[in-house]
Amino acid sequence: MYQATRVLLSSLTLLLVTLGFGLHMLVMAQGGATSSSLAGTVMDEQGGVIAGVTVKARNVE
């Protein structure tokens, strides 16, 4: 009986640690998703570079 209780407590502890680590990683993954950078060249229809252009990108979800 004592061994069964010990195995159960060990399994429960391992499960809680695993869930805690998984939730921590999920929160950390969401932390860096607030900003980004974009670089490139704006060209006209003939392929000429357009200077001094400002481009705005937004998330429309």
Per residue in 3-61, pLDDT (tens digit) is 888 889 999 999 998 888 877 777 766 666 566 778 889 999 999 999 999 988 887 87
In which residue are the tokens 């990108």 written? Answer: 57
For residue 53, is it within any domain?
no
Full residue range of the structural domain in which residue 7 is found: 1-33
Q: How confident is the model at residue 13, as a pLDDT?
A: 93
For residue 23, is it within any domain?
yes
For residue 16, is it within any domain?
yes
In which residue are the tokens 């937004």 written? Answer: 58
Q: How confident is the model at residue 24, as a pLDDT?
A: 78
The answer to whether 55 and 42 are in contact (CB under 8 A) is yes
Using alpha carbons only, give the angle 10, 11, 15 rounded to the nearest 5 degrees.
120
In the chain, the number of structural domains is 1
| Residues 6+ away with beta carbon under 8 Å from 42 | 49, 50, 53, 55
For residue 43, is it within any domain?
no
For residue 55, is it within any domain?
no
| Residues 6+ away with beta carbon under 8 Å from 14 | none
For residue 12, is it within any domain?
yes
